[in-house]
Amino acid sequence: MPAYAYFPGCSLEASAKEFDTSFRAVFDKIGVGLKEIPDWSCCGSSQVHKVDKDVATAIAGRNLVLASDIGDIVAPCAFCSISLKEAIIKLEHEGPIRSTLIEAGLEYLPGSVSVISAVEATYRAVEEGLIDGKVQSPLTGLKVAAYYGCLLVRPPKIAQFDDPENPSSMERIMVAVGAAPVDWSHKTECCGNAYIFVNKDMTLNLVRDVLNAAIEANADAVVTACPLCQQNLAMRQPHMKQNYGLKREIPVLYFTQLMGAAMNIDGQQLGLSGNIVRLINKRQQEAKEVG
Amino acid sequence: MGASVQLRSIDMDLKKEIERLSGQKLDACYLCGKCSAGCPVAPYQDIPPHVVMRMAQWGSKKVLGSKMIWNCASCGTCYTRCPNNIDVARVCGALSQISRREGLVADKVAATLREKFVESVKNNGRVHELSLVVAMKMASRDYLGDLDIGIPMFLKGKFPLFGHKIKDLNNFQKLFDSKKKGDK
């Protein structure tokens, strides 16, 4: 069984735990192993980068070293995957940071490990035919807006995956589980990041624009692959409807939750609410009736 | 703060410091404005990113008091589109570091977010989200806002009371004394 070194990241241990459980469940189902990196630490994130970029590279580098015995890293959170990818590029040339790592008992060997996001790992699995035969309950009739946000595909020199302005890998994944991706305008617009805590008004304006674009494209749900995107988009919809001109409420899920539903994985394990399960069933029923 | 800058001479020390901390070549910017055109947060700031770049090229101390340098969301849109390969987010990051050192922080709440985040990482090896959220609510004095979201999350176990401390914290903390190029 192929296996990745799994880097959950801080959010997947807490606020985004359904991303963790659904990703693990789907990969278990398709027979791709995820071995959690022992004693992993923070990826460096954009906040550490802004305080000291070399410290950010060093702490990301620690995870690269810890993973190198296991295999290539898969990091679901968009911030984590981009931070770890950037560290690989930086550490090629940054001798002093490699020395810092050695002093902490960690020897980094350039080229020893690579990093991909959960979307990339899943896309590869789809291309390799690993999900064939696993989709027992295709999400027929369910219209989804695939939302990438920023860092899954940007900056392209670091992400090195898909198109930075008009990506399509998540659409490919959604088609593979029977859903119908919509064509829409805001796939890679920013959700406002952690600035929901700093400048709430700004962030809610950004989120409203993304959600209204998905609603205008007639989507039943938005699928995401980043903890901050999912939470910013999902959490304040009643408030935004009342005060920010949000057209209607719309479910926002991790793409792995919908994949799991199509693979008949238990809804509780996926963190899916009863409302979503009913919506999926309703669309499947409608599709059957149309024939 | 207006978009025009009047200066008599370039503050080379400040300019070099920005370049060192950001790792970006400021003079590569020819002010095409693509960064500002695509910046999602620019409409809510005092000055747009290309003006930050211009002021940085001049080593203008005024830019250290701008809100924009603290509110860059690091989305990477500007870097993706820049014809000269400049990572403007890194320039904003460098400027915010200097602005903090000089006591010119224009957005104290954003500065608190950064400080608390890094503190949480340094003390535990990982971020403890609940502590961070509480600290941010205190800093922004939005004590009761979002309780309708926070309480259900807490009840669903999404905000564990205690964070995870990594085992090898001692060696991890050594990484915060990262060596720089040119250090012995």
Q: Does A64 touch chain B (CB under 8 A)?
A: no
Q: Per-residue confidence at B134, pLDDT binned at 50, 70, 90?
A: confident
Nearest residue, CB atoms, B77 vs list A154, A198, A205: A154
Which residues of chain A have a CB within 8 Å of the CB of B125?
39, 41-42
The reply to whether CATH 1.10.1060.10 applies to domain B12-101 is yes
**pLDDT tops 50 at residue A194:** yes
Nearest residue, CB atoms, B118 vs list A51, A54, A189: A51
Domains and CATH numbers, chain A: 3-118 (1.20.1050.140), 136-290 (3.40.50.11810)
pLDDT tens digits for A16-57? 999 999 999 999 999 999 999 999 999 988 889 888 899 999
Q: Does A135 touch chain B (CB under 8 A)?
A: no
CA B146-B148-B154 angle, 5° bins: 95
Whether the upstream peptide bond of residue B83 has omega within 30° of 0, thus cis, is no
Q: Does A166 touch chain B (CB under 8 A)?
A: no
Q: Does A66 touch chain B (CB under 8 A)?
A: no
Distance of alpha carbon B18 from its chain centroid, rounded?
A: 13
What residue of A is the nearest CA neighbor of B125? A41
Name the minimum distance, in Å, from the CA of B21 to any CA of chain A.
8
Which residues of chain A have a CB within 8 Å of the CB of B71?
195, 198-199, 202
The whole-chain average pLDDT of chain A stands at 95
> Is this model's pTM higher than 0.90 or not?
yes
CA B121-A200-A246 angle, 5° bins: 130
Domain ranges in chain B? Answer: 12-101, 108-176
- Using the CB atoms, write b or e for B149-179: b if 16+ within 10 Å: ebeebeeeebbeeebbebebeebbebbbebb
Q: Does B48 touch chain A (CB under 8 A)?
A: no
Report ipTM for this prediction.
Answer: 0.91
Take residue A214 and report the two structure tokens written for it: 């998905």
Rounded to an integer, what distance in angstroms lies between the CA atom of residue A58 and that of residue A51? 13
pLDDT tens digits for B21-41? 999 999 999 999 999 999 999
Which residues of chain A have a CB within 8 Å of the CB of B153?
15
What is the model's pLDDT at position B184? 41
